[in-house]
Structure 1
């Protein structure tokens, strides 16, 4: 889908800090992260919501979400992670994506009203390097 920014990231038309790719998924840093190191995992195929993801694609998609959630805390010296999917409401891009956000006790996130942050110059690439190394098989 040429008008979908995530499809354009998957195809390489739009630049993003990609941290991992599989045959079924692409994982990249959110440009406006809730916490630095916030990763989005998207299916390569354009689907808008989780209920639209074909059943045979559920295992590879969630295996990758699980992989990112397992390795992200250690890579970023976090205590855990927050994993979430919005379907339609609060879904800023109409392409299925799972948020994997590093969390540490006292990180200031409360409830579901979380301010977004920006990376300083060069900082996003540094986080990308760290996560690519941690997520490599």
Structure 2
């Protein structure tokens, strides 16, 4: 008696469409997630702190090491920035105008105090300084 080999069942090919869909959805997710936060000003290196609450700097006023005030890459002055923020505010008549400042770590502290004073004089009621958390 002669034994014949059984023919092997044809293996079904796995579809790559599912994998392509997943990769495409991940690409869209990362494109959207990456554009939600505006990038930091390239000429500003943030001050480091060891214990601080995490906060993102959208709409922040950037201060370079030379003391130049910048918003989205364009130079501004303190009074002009406060007036612009007040105009963009949802309640322009409100007395509370919060401003976030991202200052370069090489900016002299006395210059930062002068800038904060100018912002207060222009009508800012609350000013927060943005720092980056130092590695521990």
Q: TM-score, normalised by structure 1?
A: 0.27
Greater C-alpha radius of gyration: 2
Q: TM-score, normalised by structure 2?
A: 0.27
